[in-house]
């Protein structure tokens, strides 16, 4: 489809409607796509419908498609214009041409010829045009369907061009249950120079969103194993008492029966809690202690006791000493955690650690080569 668009270079809504009808096996294999493109760009004479066999009364019907019989509605209009068919009779002709039943077609030929002669049109010309209509009727597509698809295509095209971040966030939200699709859409965001931030329990929602800087915040709901219930609990706690200060504050303010240890660990591995602790390894090593401290805090609250020693404090720098001592994860483990929970490497790639060595063996990245090829094609085609 991208190649067809480059060749056709649509500049009107009618062209977009035609694109939908053209991009099907029949038109692509029959050669009519090439005829359509060549006629649009003046490389082939526009005829109604053929240079040898045409009639001026068909110009109004076929002009939007440069004389090509592309739509089923055009088949019906030609029958009405040349042979005086009723709308119902023209629909019967359309169906007969689609089914290609010899007996029915012989009957329709006679009706078409008789009606054309009655309209003052030469019988031989009428039959030649009938043959052309019959040939292309098998490839014809319903224009009303084409127009509906084209309108949605135009709307999404406009949104993607003028509101790229919001559009891509909406598309990724629509497909967030399909990891493979999300991976492809994240790559599309990178191609569009859009920043995709990791999920964040202090900023993210269930779906993908866009922050004030125009950056896409990864939807927490796209993390594998984190359901809608836990996310609602997290968002409710955040909206009630503000941002989470650290892992311990997070565990104290949420219901750990709804957001259990397994969910918390997945949030950590996905990067959704990167702002709540020194690093992912320390937080993973501290989950049990954070849940235990939260449980004690909840019990104390239930008994109406006040924590005199500040098990949970509002100052993150004071709480940091409560984290278990653990060496930061190497990039491989860090990134594998993202791939396991998100389905892709979001904040980096395992190959990055070998970039210096690779420069001794290669001079070009496949991504850059693809982009350059695309730019060359666009320049040559005039886009």
Q: Is the dihedral of CA 31, 32, 37, 41 positive or negative?
A: positive
- The CA distances from residue 229 to 70, 206, 232, in Å, are 51, 10, 5
Model confidence at 374, in pLDDT bands (50, 70, 90)? low
Model confidence at 321, in pLDDT bands (50, 70, 90)? very low
Q: What is the DSSP letter of 49?
A: B
Spatial contact of 196 and 215, defined as CB atoms under 8 Å apart: yes
Q: What is the model's pLDDT at position 23?
A: 93
Q: Take residue 44 and report the two structure tokens written for it.
A: 């082939």
> Which positions ≥6 away from 206 have C-beta within 8 Å?
219, 220, 221, 228, 231, 232, 235
Spatial contact of 81 and 61, defined as CB atoms under 8 Å apart: yes
Q: What is the DSSP letter of 220?
A: G
Of residues 199 and 308, more confidence is placed in 199
Q: What is the model's pLDDT at position 98?
A: 76
What is the strand order of the sheet 196-197 is part of? 196-197, 216-217, 209-210
| Tens of pLDDT, residues 59-73 | 999 999 999 989 989
Average pLDDT, the chain: 86
| Tens of pLDDT, residues 161-217 | 999 999 999 999 999 888 889 989 999 999 999 999 999 999 999 999 999 999 999
Cis amide leading into 283 (omega within 30): no
Closest by Cα among 3, 1, 73 to 378: 3
- The CA distances from residue 274 to 244, 254, 262, in Å, are 12, 18, 17
> Which positions ≥6 away from 289 have C-beta within 8 Å?
322, 324
Spatial contact of 132 and 79, defined as CB atoms under 8 Å apart: no
Spatial contact of 11 and 30, defined as CB atoms under 8 Å apart: no
Q: What is the model's pLDDT at position 84?
A: 92
- What average pLDDT does the segment 307-316 reach? 47
CA 233/CA 199 separation, integer angstroms: 16
Model confidence at 316, in pLDDT bands (50, 70, 90)? very low
Is-above-0.75 flag for pTM?
no
Q: Take residue 307 and report the two structure tokens written for it.
A: 């924590």
- What average pLDDT does the segment 71-100 reach? 88
Secondary structure percentages of the chain, helix, strand, coil, to 5: 65, 5, 35
> Which positions ≥6 away from 2 have C-beta within 8 Å?
none
> Which positions ≥6 away from 171 have C-beta within 8 Å?
185
- What average pLDDT does the segment 228-236 reach? 92
- What average pLDDT does the segment 217-240 reach? 91
Q: What is the model's pLDDT at position 305?
A: 57
Model confidence at 304, in pLDDT bands (50, 70, 90)? low
- What average pLDDT does the segment 145-155 reach? 96
Model confidence at 257, in pLDDT bands (50, 70, 90)? confident
- What average pLDDT does the segment 90-115 reach? 85
- What average pLDDT does the segment 293-311 reach? 68
CA 311/CA 155 separation, integer angstroms: 54
- What average pLDDT does the segment 226-236 reach? 91
Say whether pLDDT at 306 is over 60: no
Q: What is the model's pLDDT at position 319?
A: 41
Q: What is the model's pLDDT at position 359?
A: 78
* Residue 32: CB atoms within 10 Å: 19
Q: What is the model's pLDDT at position 353?
A: 73
Return the ∠ at Cα 351 (arms to 349 and 354), rounded to 5°.
Answer: 135
Percent of the chain with pLDDT over 70: 91
| Tens of pLDDT, residues 26-60 | 888 888 899 999 999 999 999 998 888 889 999 99
Of residues 93 and 153, more confidence is placed in 153
CA 201/CA 186 separation, integer angstroms: 20
- The CA distances from residue 93 to 90, 105, 124, 142, 182, in Å, are 5, 8, 19, 15, 46
CA 148/CA 152 separation, integer angstroms: 7
């Amino acid at each position: 489809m991208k190649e067809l668009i480059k060749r056709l270079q649509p500049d009107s809504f009618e062209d977009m409607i035609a694109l939908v009808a053209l991009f099907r096996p029949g038109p692509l294999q029959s050669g009519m796509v090439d005829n359509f493109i060549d006629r649009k760009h003046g490389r082939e004479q526009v005829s109604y419908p053929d240079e040898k066999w045409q009639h001026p009364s068909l110009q109004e019907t076929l002009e939007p498609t440069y004389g090509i019989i592309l739509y089923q509605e055009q088949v019906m209009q030609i029958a009405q214009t040349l042979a005086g068919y009723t709308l119902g009779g023209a629909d019967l002709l359309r169906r007969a041409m689609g089914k290609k039943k010899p007996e029915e077609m012989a009957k329709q030929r006679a009706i078409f010829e008789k009606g054309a002669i009655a309209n003052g049109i030469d019988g031989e010309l009428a039959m030649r045009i009938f043959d052309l209509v019959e040939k292309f009727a098998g490839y014809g597509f319903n224009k009303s369907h084409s127009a509906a698809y084209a309108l949605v295509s135009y709307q999404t095209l406009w949104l993607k061009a003028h509101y790229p971040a919001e559009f891509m966030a909406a598309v990724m939200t629509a497909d967030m249950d399909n990891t493979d699709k999300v991976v492809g859409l994240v790559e599309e965001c990178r191609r569009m120079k859009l920043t995709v931030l990791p999920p964040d329990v202090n900023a993210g929602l269930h779906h993908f969103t866009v922050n004030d800087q125009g950056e896409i915040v990864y939807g927490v709901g796209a993390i594998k194993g984190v359901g809608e219930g836990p996310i609602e609990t997290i968002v409710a706690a955040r909206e009630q008492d503000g941002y989470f200060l650290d892992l311990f504050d997070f565990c104290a303010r949420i219901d750990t029966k709804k957001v259990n240890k397994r969910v918390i660990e997945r949030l950590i591995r996905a990067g959704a809690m990167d702002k709540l602790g020194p690093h992912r390894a320390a937080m993973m090593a501290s989950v049990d202690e954070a849940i235990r401290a939260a449980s004690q805090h909840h019990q104390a609250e239930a008994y109406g006791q006040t924590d005199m020693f500040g098990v949970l404090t509002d100052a993150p720098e004071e709480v940091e000493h409560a984290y278990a001592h653990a060496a930061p994860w190497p990039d491989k483990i860090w990134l594998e955690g993202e791939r396991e929970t998100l389905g892709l490497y979001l904040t980096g790639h395992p190959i990055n650690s070998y970039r210096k060595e690779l420069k001794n063996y290669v001079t070009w990245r496949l991504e850059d080569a693809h982009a350059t090829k695309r730019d060359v094609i666009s320049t040559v085609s005039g886009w």
